[in-house]
Amino acid sequence: MSWVKFGVLLALPGALLSILSMYMVFKDDNKLEADLSYQYESAPRLFTERLGAISEHLKYTRLYDDIKNAGNGALSHEQINKIVDLSQAPYLALIDAPFERGPDNYPVRLLITLKNTGSKVIKEVHIKLPAKGIVQIRDDSRIDTLKPDLMSSVEIPSIVQNGVYTLWIYFQGDLESLRDKDVHIGYSDGVAQVRVSEDVIGLDAHMARYGVFWLAVLTLVYLLVALYMLISAYKEDETSPASR
């Protein structure tokens, strides 16, 4: 066996592996796609201080005494109570649990976008979060739902074809420690294709944007080299004295 033939035999497995790699890159068996992005949100200190001052002014005893003094004895106890309730109502939802200690109490936000790219309804979607957090869900009808309790997992009964769900999850703790933990997303027929967004610059950003393109180019070059070696081996066999 000539060295050219030997090289061809070595090149063919690599070529087949390259074809398989390209197939796996461009193949889309996953019907549920998930895009994840983390963000650390810290409110300005002035805003946090003002929110704390509002909380102090809205306390029942202080508000009751202020209204009573302003009424100069003209208001009954029931009337003062009613005015207190009306005064507190617009603000209580803003500083209600778990935000009573300010927006910095849950500074880490995870945004999850789920897309059903398949041809049928996806059922029993389950999401395992890296920790317990506040969960808000926007369904494919753009209806928002805020879960009343802290949750470490989320269940979605179904997502229709071309349906999109958006989830906002707010966590306590450190951003880096949460990012080190995995988010598992699956459904009744398999697992989701998960893409995690990260901020990158320079060469890393260029490779992240055009990585698939360069992989395809390198694979094509590899296949052309293998084909050239195969043709050269065939021509060598045709012209060799042993073949005559």
**High-pLDDT (> 70) share of the chain, %:** 71
Mean pLDDT value of segment 148-175: 92
- What average pLDDT is seen over the chain? 79
Mean pLDDT value of segment 128-153: 92
Predicted local confidence at residue 143, as pLDDT: 92
Buried b (16+ CB within 10 A) or exposed e, 102-128: bbeebbbbbebbbbbebeeebeebebe
Of 213 and 19, the structure prediction assigns the larger pLDDT to 213
CB-based contacts of 64: which residues, under 8 Å, 6+ apart?
80, 81, 84
First-to-last C-alpha distance (Å) of the chain: 17
Tell me the per-residue pLDDT of 20-59, one tens digit each, with 9 for 90 and over: 655 554 555 458 999 999 988 777 777 777 777 877 888 8
Of 179 and 91, the structure prediction assigns the larger pLDDT to 179
Predicted local confidence at residue 101, as pLDDT: 66
Predicted local confidence at residue 105, as pLDDT: 79
Among 2-16, 118-132, 191-205, which range has the highest average pLDDT?
A: 118-132
Predicted local confidence at residue 201, as pLDDT: 55
Banded model confidence at residue 192, pLDDT cuts 50, 70, 90: very high
Joined tokens for residue 156: 């979605």
Predicted local confidence at residue 238, as pLDDT: 62
CB-based contacts of 63: which residues, under 8 Å, 6+ apart?
57, 84, 87, 88
Whether residue 242 is predicted with pLDDT greater than 60 in this model: the reply is no
Joined tokens for residue 217: 């180019």
Predicted local confidence at residue 113, as pLDDT: 96
Of 47 and 77, the structure prediction assigns the larger pLDDT to 77
Joined tokens for residue 132: 């317990």
pTM of the model: 0.60
Among the listed residues 126, 93, 130, the one whose alpha carbon sits nearest the alpha carbon of residue 109: 130
Query: Distance between CA 187 and CA 169 in Å, rounded?
Result: 19
Whether residue 123 is predicted with pLDDT greater than 70 in this model: the reply is yes
Mean pLDDT value of segment 191-209: 70
Query: Distance between CA 154 and CA 133 in Å, rounded?
Result: 11
Which residues on adjacent β-strands are paired with residue 134? Answer: 170
Mean pLDDT value of segment 178-193: 90
Predicted local confidence at residue 186, as pLDDT: 94
The helix (run of H) or strand (run of E) holding residue 40 is strand 32-40
Query: Distance between CA 42 and CA 48 in Å, rounded?
Result: 10
Query: Distance between CA 208 and CA 226 in Å, rounded?
Result: 28
Which residues on adjacent β-strands are paired with residue 151? Answer: 133
Whether residue 151 is predicted with pLDDT greater than 60 in this model: the reply is yes
Query: Distance between CA 113 and CA 208 in Å, rounded?
Result: 20
